[in-house]
A and B are shown apart, each in its own frame.
Chain A
Amino acid sequence: MGNTIKMDLYRMLTSKTFKINLLIVTIVTLLSKPLLKLVYNLTAKLAENLSENAEGTTSAVEAYPSSVDLSELIASPFGFYNLTIFVLMSVIAFAYADIANGFIKNYAGQLEKKGYSIISKFVVIVIHNFIFMACALIGGILGELMTRTVTFDADVPTAVGVFFLKLLLMQALCTILLFFTAGIRQRTMATVFGVFLGSGMLGLAYFGLNMAIAKVFVNSDINVMDYAPDKLLEQGINIATINALVVSAVIICIFLPLTVKIFNAKDVR
Chain B
Amino acid sequence: MGFIMETKGLPKTYGNKDAVKDINIHVREGEIYGLIGRNGAGKTTIMRMLSGLSTPTSGSYSIFGKTGSELGPQMRNVGVLIENPGLYPNLSAYENLKIKCIGMGVPYKGYIENLLELVGLENVDKKKGAGQFSLGMRQRLGIALALIGDPKMIILDEPINGLDPQGIVEIRKTLEKLRDENKITIMISSHILDELSKLANSYGIIHEGKLMDEFTTDELKSRCGQFVLIKTGDNGNTIKELEKIGIKDYEIDHDGYIRVGEQLDKSAAMAKAIVTAGIDLNEIYINNDSLEDYYLRVTGGKHNG
- Which residues of A are in contact with B by a Cβ distance under 8 Å? 2-4, 6-7, 10-11, 14, 16, 97-98, 101-114, 264-265, 267-269
Contacts and interface: CB of A to CB of B under 8 A. Distances in A.
Contacts of B81: 106
Interface residues of B, number: 38
Given A103-B86, A112-B72, A3 B104 contact: yes
Contacts of B87: 101-103
A105 B82 contact: yes
B185 to A, nearest CB: 15
Given A103-B88, A104-B86, A105-B82, A110 B102 contact: no
Contacts of B75: 109-112
A109 B80 CA distance: 8
Contact of A110 (B48, B95, B104): B104
B102 A112 contact: no
Looking at B54, B78, B149, the one whose CB has the most chain A CB atoms below 10 A away is B54
Contacts of A107: 100, 103-104
Contacts of B91: 14
Given A4-B103, A6-B103, A108-B53, 7 more contacts: A10-B98, A97-B88, A98-B86, A102-B83, A103-B99, A106-B81, A112-B72
B87 to A, nearest CB: 6
B146 interface: yes
A2 B105 CA distance: 9
Contacts of A10: 98-99, 102
B93 interface: no
Contact of A109 (B51, B83, B105): B51
A98 B90 CA distance: 13
19 contacts: A3-B104, A7-B102, A14-B91, A101-B88, A103-B96, A105-B82, A106-B80, A107-B100, A108-B52, A109-B75, A109-B80, A110-B79, A110-B151, A113-B72, A114-B52, A264-B55, A265-B55, A268-B53, A268-B54
Contacts of A6: 102-103
B103 A3 contact: yes
Q: Is the interface of A mostly helix, strand, loop or mixed?
A: helix
Contact of B103 (A7, A102, A267): A7
Nearest to B79: A110
B54 A267 contact: yes
Give me the 3 closest cross-chain CB pairs, A-B, nearest first: A102-B86, A109-B52, A7-B103
B90 A110 contact: no
Interface of B: 48, 51-55, 72-73, 75-76, 78-91, 95-96, 98-100, 102-105, 142, 145-146, 149, 151
A194 B88 CA distance: 24
Contacts of A111: 52, 75
Contact of A106 (B72, B90, B98, B100): B100
Contacts of A105: 53, 80, 82-83, 86
Contacts of B102: 3, 6-7, 10
Nearest to B151: A110
Contacts of A109: 51-53, 75, 78, 80
Contact of B84 (A16, A102, A264): A102
B65 to A, nearest CB: 17
B80 A110 contact: yes
A253 B96 CA distance: 33
A13 to B, nearest CB: 11
Contact of A267 (B53, B86, B104): B53
B137 to A, nearest CB: 16
Given A3-B105, A7-B99, A112-B75, A106 B145 contact: yes
A104 B78 CA distance: 15
A191 to B, nearest CB: 20
Nearest to A113: B72
Contacts of A267: 48, 53-55
A269 B48 CA distance: 9
Nearest to A7: B103
Contacts of B72: 112-113
A265 B55 CA distance: 7
Contacts of B48: 267-268
Nearest to B96: A103
B10 to A, nearest CB: 14
Nearest to B145: A106
B182 to A, nearest CB: 17
Nearest to B74: A112
